[in-house]
């Protein structure tokens, strides 16, 4: 009891009893709660980081390695089929060192034939030259050809992976590790936009004589023409390589190069949500680089690609975003091909890509004009001399264009649609097999090597010595047997 100033007695309010267990006040409890909240914070941060790392972007100058733009370029990433750029690098190094040649015929092993999902589909025991395997690898991203080349260079996938990793260390690709030559899903198959740009730059500088391998627009086997997954080739002005890639964990990847006014740029896009988006992103990066002012040295320098500091983190896993049940259709590497076959020319994607083409004076944007070179003719079996597919004695540009597939030194590099249009009025010649027309027009009975039909040889034997008009009917003979010869020389593509 207490008393108030008025003398009135007041009852004291009882003090509240603290019933909190002493356990929650103990140091162990405080530590546990701190760790719990820290774990929740880390999980939230990891989720935010994964969302923020939806894409990794980088564009550099091929000559100097100068970085023009970078976003998440130092974060580890699953490279997917961009891995095949390293596969091509290792194979060309072996060729340069004399361990094998482009004419070397390699067998398709059971391990190679078992690769999925994108492949040429040759049965075990089929022979494929290094030259043809490289073309199939870079154009169609064939997983079986990656294994054929790996076994041909190092004997096994594991040994070839060691070779790839040695090259990566030597080039300064500090974030890259490889366990297979094709980029199929593997936790330890890791790279980054930084490392991929370093690799692309090394490939350009070390093997300029083989530059055509990563710019081939299509390959032709028999009557089947298969186009490059790189949607920029033929659609973006100056585009001249290199390679695409996709797995669910990585998203849609692309390393692309383009040259304008003697200046070559390399763009890397990792984790794009679709094949369309990666092409658009790459085109935007390249445009940004080409539009950089010549006074850019006044701006803050981003350094060179090898000075980008790697970030020690786990690569993001985009499986749910890329291949989750929310997608209307499964994401695949050949989305560009499906789009090209089904999309209208006035679709937003088609309009965007076409708007990046060159502008003619007083003309509208080239929405439907796609400038591509001739498809490279590929085949199975041992190496064939160029003379067995085409003759090189015709001085016309048509013969030069027709012989590009047979001679890997000039394959598609100098064969453009403009050259074909100038040398041949027939539009089908752009995608036709090599034509042995020069052998029929030279008038010499010992020159032809294109194996003409028996009736043609009889005509040549009977008519050449006696008539000056004999070469005229002979000139059309190879054209009439073109389909027969291409069917005999080049086997048709098997079902994948």
Long-range residue pairs from 258-264, CB within 8 A, at least 24 positions apart, any chain: 258/232, 258/286, 258/290, 260/290, 263/61, 263/63, 263/290, 264/61, 264/62, 264/63, 264/204, 264/240
**Is residue 223 annotated as a catalytic residue, yes or no?**
no
| Residue 198 maps to a domain | yes
Q: Is residue 88 pLDDT above 50, yes or no?
A: yes
pLDDT tens sequence across 295-334: 566 667 889 999 999 999 999 999 998 998 887 776 666 5
Burial class of residue 423 in the structure, from the number of CB atoms within 10 Å of its CB (0-12 exposed, 13-18 middle, 19+ buried): middle
Per DSSP, the three-state class of 369 is coil
In this prediction, residue 386 carries a pLDDT of 72
Which residue is associated with the tokens 């025991």?
A: 125
Q: Which of 66, 81, 243, 474 is catalytic?
A: 81
Mean pLDDT across the stretch 273-277? Answer: 92
Q: How far is CA 389 from the centre of its chain?
A: 28
* Co-location of 348 and 202 in the same domain: yes
The pLDDT assigned to 328 comes to 73
Give the range of the structural domain holding residue 398, as residue numbers without chain letter. Answer: 385-489
Choose, from 66, 84, 281, 400, the residue flagged as catalytic.
84
pLDDT 10s digits, 220-242: 999 999 999 999 998 999 999 99
CB atoms within 10 A of CB 375: 28
Q: How far apart are CA 402 and CA 415, in angstroms?
A: 9
Give pLDDT, residue 317: 95
- 3-state SS, residue 270: strand
Phi first, then psi: give them for residue 152, nearest 5 degrees: -70, -30
Task: Give ∠ CA 261-263-267 in degrees, rounded to 5.
Answer: 125
> Residue 4 falls within a domain, yes or no?
no
481 pLDDT band, cuts 50/70/90, is very low
Claim to verify: residue 349 and residue 389 sit in the same structural domain: no
Summarize the confidence of residues 90-97 as an average pLDDT: 98
The helix/strand/coil state of 255 is: strand
Residue from 66, 119, 141, 486 carrying the catalytic annotation: 141
Say whether 398 is catalytic. Answer: no
Asked if 376 and 218 touch (Cβ cutoff 8 Å), the reply is yes
Answer yes or no: do 348 and 448 share one domain: no
Same domain, 241 and 183: yes
Packing angle of the helix pair 275-290, 348-355 (nearest 10 deg): 20
Based on the residue annotation, tell me whether 191 is a catalytic residue of this protein.
no
Tell me: the pLDDT tens digits for 360-403?
A: 333 222 234 455 678 999 999 999 887 565 433 333 334 444 44
Report the C-alpha gap between 314 and 319 in whole angstroms.
Answer: 14
Q: Which of 47-61, 138-152, 367-381 has the highest mean pLDDT?
A: 138-152
- Is 149 part of any domain? yes
Structure confidence at residue 373 (pLDDT): 74
> DSSP for 65-106?
-BEEEEESTTSEE--GGGHHHHHHHHHHHHHHTTS--TT-EE
- Report the share of the chain in percent with pLDDT over 70: 57
Residue 178, domain member (yes or no): yes
pLDDT tens figures, 328-364: 776 666 554 444 444 444 544 444 444 444 443 332 2
On whether residue 482 sits in a domain, the answer given is: yes
- Among the three residues 333, 355, 377, which one is the final residue of a domain in this structure? 355
Please give the C-alpha separations between residue 217 and each of 98, 256, 269, 335, in angstroms, as whole numbers: 28, 13, 20, 16
Are residues 326 and 440 located together in one domain of the fold? no
CATH assignment of the domain containing 115: 3.40.710.10
Shared domain check, 456 and 325: no
The domain boundary residue, chosen from 315, 336, 355? 355
Comparison of pLDDT for 102 and 457, the residue scoring more: 102
- Those residues whose C-beta lies under 8 Å from the C-beta of residue 68, and which sit 6 or more positions away, are 59, 60, 61, 265, 288, 289, 292, 296, 302
Whether residue 34 has pLDDT greater than 90: no
Higher-confidence residue: 413 or 162? 162
């Amino acid at each position: 009891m207490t008393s108030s100033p008025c003398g009135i007695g007041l009852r004291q309010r009882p003090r509240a009893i603290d019933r909190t267990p002493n356990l929650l006040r103990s140091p162990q409890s405080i530590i546990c709660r701190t760790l719990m909240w820290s774990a929740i914070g880390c999980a939230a941060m990891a989720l935010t980081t994964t969302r923020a790392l939806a894409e990794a972007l980088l564009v550099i100058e091929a000559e100097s390695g100068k970085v023009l733009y970078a976003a998440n370029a130092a974060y580890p990433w699953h490279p997917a089929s961009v891995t095949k750029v390293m596969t091509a690098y290792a194979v060309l190094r072996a060729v340069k060192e004399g361990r094998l040649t482009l004419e070397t015929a390699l067998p398709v092993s059971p391990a190679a034939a078992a690769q999925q999902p994108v492949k040429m589909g040759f049965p075990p025991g089929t022979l494929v030259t290094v030259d043809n395997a490289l073309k199939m690898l870079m154009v169609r991203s064939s997983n079986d050809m990656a294994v054929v080349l790996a076994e041909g260079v190092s004997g096994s996938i594991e040994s070839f992976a060691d070779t790839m990793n040695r090259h990566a260390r030597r080039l300064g690709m500090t974030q890259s590790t490889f366990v297979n030559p094709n980029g199929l899903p593997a936790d330890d198959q890791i790279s980054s936009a930084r490392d991929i740009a370093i690799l692309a730059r090394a490939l350009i500088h070390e093997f300029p004589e083989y530059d055509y391998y990563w710019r081939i627009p299509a390959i032709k086997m028999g009557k089947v023409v298969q186009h490059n997954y790189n949607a920029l080739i033929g659609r973006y002005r100056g585009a001249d390589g290199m390679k695409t890639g996709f797995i669910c964990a990585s998203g849609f990847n692309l390393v692309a190069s383009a040259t304008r006014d003697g200046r070559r740029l390399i763009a890397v896009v990792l984790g794009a949500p679709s094949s369309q988006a990666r092409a658009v992103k790459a085109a935007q990066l390249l445009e940004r680089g080409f539009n950089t002012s010549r006074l850019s040295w006044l701006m803050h320098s981003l350094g060179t690609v090898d000075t980008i500091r790697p970030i020690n983190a786990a690569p993001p896993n985009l499986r749910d975003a890329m291949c989750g049940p929310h997608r209307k259709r499964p994401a695949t590497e050949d989305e560009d091909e499906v789009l090209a076959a089904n999309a209208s020319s006035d679709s937003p994607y088609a309009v965007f890509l076409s708007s990046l083409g060159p502008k003619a004076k007083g003309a509208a944007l080239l929405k439907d004009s796609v400038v591509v070179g001739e498809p490279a003719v590929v085949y199975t079996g041992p190496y064939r001399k160029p003379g067995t597919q085409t003759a090189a004695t015709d001085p016309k540009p048509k013969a030069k264009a027709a012989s590009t597939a047979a001679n890997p030194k000039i394959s598609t590099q100098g064969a453009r649609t403009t050259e074909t249009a100038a040398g041949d009025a027939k539009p089908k010649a752009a995608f036709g097999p090599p034509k042995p027309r020069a052998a029929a027009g030279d008038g010499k009975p010992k020159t032809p090597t294109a194996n003409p039909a028996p009736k043609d040889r009889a005509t040549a034997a009977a008519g050449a010595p006696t008539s000056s008009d004999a070469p005229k009917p002979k000139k059309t003979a190879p054209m009439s047997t073109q389909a027969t010869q291409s069917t005999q020389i080049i086997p048709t593509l098997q079902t994948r």
